[in-house]
Amino acid sequence: MKHILIVDSNLGFLYWLGETLAEANHQPWPACNIAEAGAMLRSRRLPSLDLLIVNPSVEGASRFIHRLRRTRPELKVLAVDPVNEKQVRGVTAWRARPSGDDLSAKHQWLRHIERVISEHQRAA
């Protein structure tokens, strides 16, 4: 089981991705904003962090990614819906938000997440 922190202000997407990850036997840790995500990390409720999935348009996302990457340089970061990939440093991979809630979108997201995590494990 992988622990995956998801930061996105879109509650529908947050719920959809959380459910998708839980169905694949991962532990999703959803946060609507950076303050909530930071509180999870500080409180130690999140036992480990295998992947950060974040929407770079969430206020403070760039600083949050930069801070996390300084303390956890091996952490993989998957950005959702990049506006300009060059604006956010420290991002490992990008993925567009799914346009529908079909099974195909779930499988595509899970494959992408598994690939990002497995690349992380090989590099470690």
8-54 pLDDT, tens digit per residue, is 999 999 999 999 999 999 999 999 999 999 999 988 777 789 999 99
**Is 3-123 a domain of CATH 3.40.50.2300?**
yes
Whole-number mean pLDDT of the chain?
88
pLDDT score, position 82? 65
Percent of the chain clearing pLDDT 70 (strictly above): 90
Query: 80-84, 85-89, 111-115: which range is least confident on average?
Result: 85-89
- For the chain, give every domain's residue range: 3-123
Residue 57 burial (CB < 10 Å; 0-12/13-18/19+)? middle
Residues near 32 by beta carbon (within 8 Å), at least 6 away in sequence: 7, 8, 9, 11, 14
DSSP state of 85: G
